[in-house]
Amino acid sequence: MDHLISINRRGVFSLEQVRQILPIIRRITEEISEKVDNHITEIEATPNSQKKVIATLEEQINELIHLWNEKIKKLGAIPKGLWLVDFDFGRGYYCWKYPETDVVHWHTRDEGYSNRRPLEELSFEAKNEKSANRSGPNQRPPRGL
């Protein structure tokens, strides 16, 4: 039962939790993006004189994108753009964009997709924070006056 996925989840994700849920998000995104692409192809092939057909297809595209947003939110992730998803990890966001196969980027709370960085940098920052907060074996605590 370790592989159950929560619906309407709130809170922060560990990287392991993100990687557990990512195949579901990829499948949802792949299915819906394919339908959107097919509708766009239909629009491009439809003569401009058939405005009602084009309007119907555009409405269907909007409904599909809305459906995708709702499904991503139900899984506890944050849709940030078309086929772009963030996962809150407390200090920032793990960042995934379709068709990537894994989550390998992150960004701070103040930044976005254009400023995302490799996960290796996050590991490096965490190690530096730990070593900066740790006193060495030969260091004495400060004396009071």
Q: What is the pLDDT of residue 98?
A: 97
Q: Are 89 and 13 within 8 A, CB to CB?
A: yes
Parallel, antiparallel or unpaired: strands 78-81 and 105-108: unpaired
User: Where do the domains of the chain lie?
Assistant: 15-133
Q: What is the pLDDT of residue 138?
A: 46
Q: DSSP H helical segments within 46-118, as ranges? A: 51-74
Q: Are 64 and 28 within 8 A, CB to CB?
A: no
Q: Compute the average pLDDT of residues 15-34.
A: 97
Length of the chain: 145
- Which one-letter amino acid corresponds to residue 13? F
Q: What digits encode the pLDDT tens for the residues 53-104?
A: 999 999 999 999 999 999 999 999 999 999 999 999 999 999 999 999 999 9
* Banded pLDDT at 133 (limits 50, 70, 90): low
Which has more confidence, 133 or 95?
A: 95
If one counts every other C-beta atom within 10 angstroms of the C-beta of residue 21, the result is: 20
